[in-house]
A = this chain, B = another copy of it.
Amino acid sequence: MICNLRKVGIVSSGLTKFAKTEVSVESLMISSIKPIFDNTKNLSQTDIDVVLTSTNANEKYLASIVSELAGISPKISHSVESLCNSGTNCIVSAFSYISSGLADVALVTGAEKSNSPGLVLNWDKSRGQYRHPIYWSSLFTSSHMRKHGTKMEDLAYVSAKNHRNALDNPYSYFDRSYSFEEVMRSKNLTDNVRLLDCSMPCDGAASILLASEDVIQKFTEDPVWITGIGQRTLSAGFARSKNLSSMYSTSLASQDAYRMSHSSPSTIDVAEVHDAFSICEIMALEDLKLVEPGKAAEFVKNLHDTNNKKINPRGGLLGTGHPLGATGIAQTIESYQQLQGTAGKRQVEKAKTALIHNMSAAATSSTVLILQS
């Protein structure tokens, strides 16, 4: 089905520090857009054909508002929403505008407030009285424990590793890390989900500039290309999930992304996986086929013990915070910087191929992107 895709690359990016603030969604977006104009050679507002906004906020006409505030008069502008994977959906939408030839340059900006209306999916009556995502993460955890013998200690290594990685991320919500022992001792919210097994909703914004292969050299000599895209929505309601010890939408999305980019799990040098809860990183590693089923817990403990940053070098959602509409874009920015070799203390050496995994609502939908330098 893929025919004659025009190549689309990443030109530049910007972030705000993840925090709790009194700043509006549109102001957060503008703060993350400013570095793009500051740091991109030859870029002027008139170059930008598309402005897309990613958020769960209820603000209307946000892409036009942000365009006005940034002095841009785009051809195409609208918001994109799909709960927690709004960010990567927005990037894929921009990709398609460029790849199709309708546009050459697209600005994608995502932001969220800590009290986002996307935190709980009230529509999903299948969750019964347990509407909060902690509910499904607890069921995921007990199911994975039953099938693979996963232990609370395994979950603690995920959280401790990602909190430690986040210490080297200047945009992280936290100003300290949490050790394995601290995660183990943190407050139980359910019998198998502790406070430090949960990502923190917060304010934050992330922006990324994309361009077609035909014009990208004007703005950068060093682009990173989006070579693989896979997406799948299986349902909206949690109760439709057939197997709670794996995330099937992630598995399907990754197959398409690997195929499109002519890559495979063995070629992935660095990955951002959607660790909304500790169990999600373990499951995602298995569903993305980066690790054999049942082997992710041991793999993560080894990453923790050897200070290997291959998985979630920026600190993941657990370590960095989770501003819903910004998360997928922030993940993509980390991967972009890794492939550019500009990730500083977080740098994974010789990274040439990066994978981004972003999902929504108990993995009822997933997006997987693959980037190559």
Contacts and interface: CB of A to CB of B under 8 A. Distances in A.
A65 B103 contact: no
Given A100-B5, A102-B99, A233 B60 contact: no
Given A59-B123, A60-B121, A100-B96, A77 B1 contact: no
Contact of A82 (B56, B63, B237, B361): B63
Given A2-B101, A5-B101, A51 B233 contact: yes
Interface stretch (A85-93, A150-158, A278-286, A335-343): A85-93
A228 B240 CA distance: 40
Contacts of A89: 76, 78
Contacts of A80: 78-80
A16 interface: no
B77 A60 contact: no
A35 interface: no
A54 to B, nearest CB: 9
Contact of A102 (B103, B118, B229): B229
Copies per assembly: 2
Interface in A93-110: 93, 95-97, 99-104
A65 B123 contact: yes
Contacts of A182: none
B3 A123 contact: no
Contact of A96 (B2, B102, B233, B237): B102
A176 B181 CA distance: 73
A235 interface: yes
Contact of A61 (B4, B74, B92, B123): B123
A4 B59 CA distance: 36
A232 B73 contact: yes
Contact of A103 (B1, B62, B82, B104): B1
Contacts of A4: 4, 6, 101
A256 B75 contact: yes
Which of A49, A93, A364 is most buried by chain B, counting CB atoms within 10 A of its CB? A93
Range, interface on chain A:
35 or more
Nearest to A229: B102
A231 interface: yes
A32 interface: no
A189 to B, nearest CB: 23
Which of A4, A6, A96, A214 is most buried by chain B, counting CB atoms within 10 A of its CB? A96
A79 B81 contact: yes
Given A76-B231, A78-B81, A99-B101, 8 more contacts: A60-B81, A61-B236, A63-B82, A78-B82, A95-B100, A95-B102, A96-B100, A96-B102
10 contacts: A2-B101, A4-B101, A61-B236, A64-B233, A65-B236, A68-B235, A73-B232, A77-B82, A96-B102, A100-B100
Q: Which 8 pairs of residues, A with B, have the shortest CB-CB distance?
A: A99-B100, A64-B236, A78-B82, A100-B100, A3-B101, A96-B96, A65-B236, A79-B81
